[in-house]
Amino acid sequence: MYDIILKWNNNQEEEATMPTVVYIGENLKRVRTRRLLTQEELAERASVSAATVVNVERNQQEPHFRTIRKLAKALDVDPTELLGE
């Protein structure tokens, strides 16, 4: 996570925090293979494209939380298992 210090005209400081990038690729692949699903099968169950599953697993795409929920539901796990929390 990145912290940025903003300085206003009167030299008051305020901290702003950038959102953390979420990569779930390793966890997603681990759970998917444990369920004996192909990427295409998971994509169909989750109503997302196969390209989305591939890109998320390769950490080439940061998924929206809505996508994480769909994938977790399709895998019958809590979303936090994919997030690694």
CATH number at residue 31: 1.10.260.40
Question: Exposed, middle or buried: residue 57 (CB in 10 Å: 0-12, 13-18, 19+)?
Answer: buried
Q: State pLDDT tens for residues 35-54.
A: 999 999 999 999 999 999 99
What is the number of alpha carbons within 13 Å of residue 50 lying toward its C-beta?
5
User: In terms of residue numbers, what domain contains 32?
Assistant: 23-83
Cα separation of 29 and 80, whole Å? 15
Residue 9 lies in a domain: no
Reported as a pLDDT band with limits 50, 70 and 90, residue 84 is confident
pTM: 0.75
Q: Answer yes or no: are the C-beta atoms of 71 and 82 closer than 8 Å.
A: yes
The total number of structural domains that make up the chain: 1
